[in-house]
Every structure is written in structure tokens, then in C-alpha cells.
Amino acid sequence: MKTIIESIQKNVKETSESFLNRDEKFLSQKPLPEKWSKKEIIGHLCDSAMNNIQRFIRGQYENYPTINYEQYNWVNISAYNSYTKEEIILLWSSLNKHLCKILENMPVENYSKTCVMMSMGNETKGYSLKWIAEDYLSHLVHHLKKVNGD
């Protein structure tokens, strides 16, 4: 878990610094009408952090909590393009600091506890909290490639 936490922290620090050095208009631009802007991608990562925080907390004391979310609805309703770059980065970095603290304090015996969530095929399935932490990092890195690209 320590490696996952350190990786999350490193990615958040590096992306925050480069994001804040970019032009506000550039960060709000959508490559296509149906695609997310860089701000909206960071917003999506905020939503991901919020939902995973619930999984990491509730998964430790509830039996098989089910936590799903509709990513496109969350991004649209949250209107992340209306945020300044400072606001969106502050929210994202704060959520990740909180998430990392939860992971840091999670007892090893809770890593195998299960949380139910929707898989890519839209079916619900149970995943261990350790797997969810690994997947969270993988998802983060995947989207940050788009944010950090030109």
C-alpha cells in the first residue's frame, strides 16, 4: 500500500505544478464536443476520489457496501469547466491527500475486505480494498496522460 500511496502523491504533486502553469482557456477547451476538457478530466478524477474514499471507509466496516457512480452525469452536473484552475487543483489535491491518509491508516487485515462496484461490463462485482487501491492508481495514471499531454 505504501508504494500506491507514494505514487498517488507523486502524480498529484507533479500534475498540480504543471497544470497551474497552463493557460486557463487551454485547460477549458474540449477536443470534441463529447470529450472532456483537461479541467473536466481533473474533475472526473475528483469524482473518482470521492467515490473511492467512500469505498475505502465503508468497505472497512460495512459488509459488501455497493458504491457505483455515473461518471458522465457527475462531470456534467459538477460543471468543472466553470472552476478556475486553482479551484479544481485544490479540490483534487485535497481529496487525494485525504484518500492517502485513509490508505495509510488502513490496517493490513482490511486490505482483503470487499466492496461491490460496477465493472466495465455494467455488472456488479466484489473487489478487495487492495485491488480497488491498485485500480485507483492505474485509473489516475491513465487520465493524467491526457491531462499532461498537449
- Structural domains in the chain plus CATH codes: 2-148 (1.20.120.450)
Confidence of residue 121 (pLDDT cuts 50, 70, 90): low
| Alpha-carbon span 98 to 112, nearest angstrom | 21
Lowest mean pLDDT: which of 5-19, 72-86, 109-123, 126-140? 109-123
| Alpha-carbon span 10 to 32, nearest angstrom | 30
Percentages helix, strand, coil for the chain (3-state, rounded to 5) are: 70, 5, 25
Confidence check: pLDDT of 118 > 80: no
Confidence of residue 69 (pLDDT cuts 50, 70, 90): confident
- Rounded average pLDDT over 36-59: 98
Report the chain's mean pLDDT, rounded to a whole number. Answer: 95
- End-to-end Cα separation, the chain, in angstroms: 32
